[in-house]
């Protein structure tokens, strides 16, 4: 496959010298604000969310290949990025309307792709909740929505990163065993369907098909719930990876740092050729309480010590496991 000059430039900007992506995610909005306020209700909501992002960006972002932010609270943080660190901007509104069926997506207010590019975005990221077994009309709406964003990115020759997030439209929880068992098929569908040319997607940001704590033999993790054997899980990782025609990176999905690092090694041993990761809470989640109770100075101290240690564990794992995106693109 061939990239246009602008899209190739975007991929190069969000990657390291090996054409591997070690990006940090900091586009959380509502969930981050709730976590901060749960530790200190006196903090002003918007200001505290913005300030928290600034610290993570300045310390962690500048040691990553790229950094993901949102346009609602992230512009102050983006100014802290050094030259050469790629800026990825989220295009979707955070969360979804729980009173409506289908978890239909929506875009941020006040910005089109051309506006985000003018403000410095090197890549656009779109998240959509998707269940392949949901009522067809909702999935048809989502597919058309994704294509529209793809067209916008084509028009602006801008890298388009798509993040399909699996969920259970049948209202069961994500921890339900039946959902965990069919999630790999959902992920495999994402890899196959959304690498088709009509969507205009250049890079997939995907969940792993099986969480490490749902695999036999990983009982050291607190939420251990073995549903797949190692052989079964390994086969599912490989099948999902082989279903795509474009490069993909793994998201951390709220697991711990150790769990995510272990997952990357498991994926590589399974034969999955992923091109990096976009990791968020597994790096910086533990500093939220410190920031909320002790302030910015304590936040920076933690980030410079434990935060960078977490990041370096992920970077070391990626260096040993990831396949450059040039494996997919000429």
Q: Identify which of 80, 69, 12 has the alpha carbon closest to the alpha carbon of residue 247.
A: 12
Tokens (6 digits) for 12? 């190069």
HSE-CB at 79 with a 13 A cutoff on CA atoms is: 5
Segments of the chain scoring below 70 in pLDDT: 172-174
Check if the beta carbon of residue 200 is closer than 8 Å to that of residue 160: yes
- Predicted confidence at residue 173, as pLDDT, reads 67
Report how far residue 192's alpha carbon sits from residue 315's, in angstroms, rounded to the nearest whole number: 27
Angle formed by the axes of helices 257-270 and 308-321, nearest 10°: 0
Q: What is the pLDDT of residues 297-309, one digit of tens each?
A: 999 999 999 999 9
Report how far residue 88's alpha carbon sits from residue 235's, in angstroms, rounded to the nearest whole number: 32
- Predicted confidence at residue 172, as pLDDT, reads 63
Domain span at residue 304? 5-327
Mark residue 171 as left, alpha or beta (left: phi above 0; alpha: psi -120 to 50; beta: remaining).
left
Tokens (6 digits) for 110? 């006040």
Check if the beta carbon of residue 69 is closer than 8 Å to that of residue 120: no
In angstroms, the Cα distances linking 265 to 35, 226, 258, 315 are 30, 18, 11, 12
Tokens (6 digits) for 162? 């798509």
Q: What is the pLDDT of residues 99-145, one digit of tens each?
A: 788 999 999 999 999 999 999 999 999 999 999 999 999 999 999 99
Number of domains comprising the chain = 1
- Predicted confidence at residue 2, as pLDDT, reads 83
Q: Which is it for strands 276-279 and 203-206: parallel, antiparallel or unpaired?
A: unpaired
Question: Does this model's pTM top 0.85?
Answer: yes
Report how far residue 301's alpha carbon sits from residue 199's, in angstroms, rounded to the nearest whole number: 43
- Predicted confidence at residue 330, as pLDDT, reads 72
- Predicted confidence at residue 99, as pLDDT, reads 73
Q: Which is it for strands 21-25 and 276-279: parallel, antiparallel or unpaired?
A: parallel
Helix (H), strand (E), coil (C) string for the chain: CCCCHHHHHHHHHHCCCCCCEEEEECCCCHHHHHHHHHHCCCCCHHHHHHHHHHHHHHHCHHHCCEEEECCCCCHHHHCCCCCCCEEEEECECCCCCCCCCCCCCCECCCCCHHHHHHCCCCEEEEEEEECCCCCHHHHHHHHHHHHHHHHHHHHCCCEEEEEEEECCCCCCCCCCHHHHHHHHHHHHHHHHHCCCHHHCCCEEEECCCCCHHHECCCCCCCCCCCCECHHHHHHHHHHHHHCCCCCEEEECCCCCHHHHHHHHHHHHHHCCCCCEEEECHHHHHHHHHHHHHHCHHHHHHHHHHHHHHHHHHHHHHHHHHCCCHHHCCC
Domain with residue 214: its CATH number is 3.20.20.70
């Amino acid at each position: 496959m061939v990239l246009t000059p602008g899209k190739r430039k975007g991929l190069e900007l969000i990657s390291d010298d090996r054409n591997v992506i070690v990006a940090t995610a900091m586009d959380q909005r509502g969930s981050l604000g709730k976590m901060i306020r749960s530790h200190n209700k006196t903090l002003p909501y918007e200001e505290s969310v913005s300030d928290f992002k600034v610290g993570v960006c300045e310390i962690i972002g500048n040691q990553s290949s790229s950094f993901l932010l949102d346009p609602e609270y992230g512009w102050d943080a983006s100014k802290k990025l050094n030259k050469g660190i790629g800026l990825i901007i989220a295009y979707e509104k955070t969360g979804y309307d729980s009173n409506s069926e289908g978890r239909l997506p929506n875009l941020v207010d006040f910005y089109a792709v051309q506006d985000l590019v003018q403000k410095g975005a090197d890549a656009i990221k779109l998240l959509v909740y998707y269940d392949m077994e949901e009522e067809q009309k909702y999935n048809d709406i989502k597919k058309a929505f994704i294509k529209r964003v793809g067209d916008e990115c084509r028009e602006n020759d801008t890298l388009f990163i798509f993040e399909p997030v699996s969920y259970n439209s049948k209202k069961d929880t994500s921890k339900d065993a039946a959902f965990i068992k069919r999630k790999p098929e959902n992920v495999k569908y994402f890899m196959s369907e959304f690498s088709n040319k009509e969507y205009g997607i250049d890079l997939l940001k995907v969940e792993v098909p099986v969480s490490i704590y749902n695999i036999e033999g990983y009982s050291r993790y607190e939420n251990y719930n073995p549903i797949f054997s190692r052989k079964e899980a390994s086969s599912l990782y490989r099948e999902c990876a082989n279903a795509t025609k474009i490069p993909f990176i793994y998201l951390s999905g709220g697991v711990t740092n150790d769990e995510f690092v272990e997952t990357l090694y498991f994926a590589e041993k399974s034969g999955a050729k992923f091109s990096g990761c976009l990791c968020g809470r597994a790096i910086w989640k533990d500093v939220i309480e410190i920031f909320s109770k002790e302030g910015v100075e304590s936040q920076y101290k933690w980030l410079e010590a434990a935060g960078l240690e977490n990041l370096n564990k992920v970077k070391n794992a990626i260096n040993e496991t990831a396949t450059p995106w040039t494996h997919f693109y000429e």
